[in-house]
Amino acid sequence: METLKTHVVHGGTLRYLKHDSPTTGTPMTLSVFVPPGEGPFPVLIWLSGLTCTEDNFTTKAGAYAAAAEHGIIVVAPDTSPRGEGVADDDAWDLGQGAGFYVDATEAPWAKHFRMESYLTGELIALVDAAFPTTKVRGISGHSMGGHGALTLALNHPELFQSVSAFAPIASPTRCPWGEKALGAYLGDDQRAWARHDAARLIEAGTAHGVYDEILIDQGDADPFLAEQLKPELLVEAAKASGQKITLRMQPGYDHSYFFMASFIADHVAFHARRLKG
């Protein structure tokens, strides 16, 4: 991995990094915060939402005070492959910046859009090789990244010990953003979509018993709440399967990084309790 920039923040070291990914066939970018003190440290992977790069969370979420306090490495990857030779769409909710954390099977996306394999098969190993990690990790994210955190944690329970989300797309098979993206990346056969739907995975008991609790924060003034996010589907699914979900409806909060910044310390502490036990 090539270090593009380094900053000291809250006593730790933040790096912006770039590497050539054999999985996506493109350069990929990310940021990694290493807290002060003696390692090794557990890892929190953060997945961002539509249109974001690794920079949005890194500069706006204010996560590193809590990460320094708890001794957690924080990894924020980009949300998709990018570049001139990479397929894209004029819309902001498909293509570059909108990878949805799946491995696309349909043209023109299948060539590069392999975010599930990139994250679970490549990035985690790269981070463990390059940084002083305990190889114990949690995952969180926002909106499309909340969907990614939940579905990757449920489908890969051997990789993660904790999971939380901010304003996740709870059931992409049942909202316009998800239907559009999963249709484009995975095709019209909706049987291929189910394993990328957190509510359906939880309802089916996927990874049952692995995560003692899933923490979800959701602003009740989020303009995407009713049509796109639908956290009530997670609560209903959790009731059906016995998964414990704590959904905190936060009064007045919207979909912005100001919402995330307000509660990120709670999430870092939630993961720290589970990753440092």
92 binds a second copy (CB under 8 A): no
Q: Among candidates 112, 93, 97, which has minimal Cα distance to 54?
A: 97
Q: How far is the CB of 2 from a second copy (least distance, A)?
A: 19
Closest CA to 214 of 161, 255, 169: 161
Stretch near a second copy under the rule CB under 8 A, chosen from 82-90, 114-122, 157-165, 254-262: 254-262
How far apart (Å, rounded) are the C-alpha atoms in residues 131 and 15?
11
Residue 107 neighbours by CB distance under 10 Å: 9
Task: Kindly report the backbone phi and psi dihedral angles of residue 127, in degrees, each rounded to the nearest multiple of 5, phi listed first.
Answer: -65, -45
Q: Which of 237, 257, 270, 271 binds a second copy (CB under 8 A)?
A: 257
269 is an interface residue for a second copy by CB under 8 A: no
Asked if 273 is part of the footprint of a second copy (rule: CB under 8 A), the reply reads no
265's enclosing H/E stretch is helix 257-275
- Cβ neighbourhood burial of 69 (10 Å; 0-12, 13-18, 19+): middle
Give which of 6, 28, 7, 3 is closest to 17, Cα–Cα. 3
Structure-token pair, residue 114: 């392999």
**CA–CA separation, 208 vs 108, rounded Å?**
35
Token readout for 54 is: 């690794």
Give the nearer residue to a second copy in terms of CB position, either 14 or 119: 14
We find the least distance from the C-beta atom of residue 262 to a second copy, in angstroms, to be 5
Stretch of 9-17, 37-45, 129-137, 154-162 contacting a second copy, by CB under 8 A: 9-17
The one-letter amino acid code at 115 reads: M
User: Does residue 222 carry a catalytic annotation?
Assistant: yes
- 259 forms part of the interface with a second copy (CB under 8 A): yes
The verdict on 252 binding a second copy (CB under 8 A) reads yes
Please identify which residue in 10, 19, 111, 156 interacts with a second copy, judged by CB under 8 A.
Answer: 10
Kindly state whether residue 258 participates in binding a second copy, applying the rule CB under 8 A: yes
Q: How far is the CB of 246 from a second copy (least distance, A)?
A: 19
DSSP assignments along 18-31, one per residue: EEEETTTTEEEEEE
- The one-character DSSP state at 103 is B
Q: Does 221 bind a second copy (CB under 8 A)?
A: yes
Size of the site for a second copy (CB under 8 A): 25
3 binds a second copy (CB under 8 A): no
Residues 30-89 that bind a second copy (CB under 8 A): 59-60, 62, 64-65
In this chain, which of 253, 267, 271, 272 binds a second copy, going by CB under 8 A? Answer: 253
Q: Which residues are catalytic?
A: 143, 222, 255
- Residue ranges binding a second copy (CB under 8 A): 7-11, 14, 59-60, 62, 64-65, 219, 221, 250-254, 256-259, 261-262, 265
